[in-house]
Amino acid sequence: MRTPGRRDSANEANDDMSEISFQRAIAAVDLPEGQMRAVQIGARSILLCRTREGWYALDDICTHAYAKLHEGRLRGNRLICPLHGASYDCRSGAVLGAPAIQPLKTYPVRHVGDDIEVACDRP
pLDDT, one tens digit per residue, over 72-82 is 999 999 999 99
For each of the domains in the chain, give its residue range(s) and CATH number, in order of start.
Answer: 20-121 (2.102.10.10)
Burial of residue 60 (CB within 10 Å: 0-12, 13-18, 19+) is: buried
Burial readout 80-93 (b: 16 or more C-beta within 10 A, e: otherwise): bbeeeebbbbbbeb
Render pLDDT for 39-82 as a digit per residue (tens, 0 to 9). Answer: 999 889 999 999 999 999 999 999 999 999 999 999 999 999 99
The structure's pTM equals: 0.82
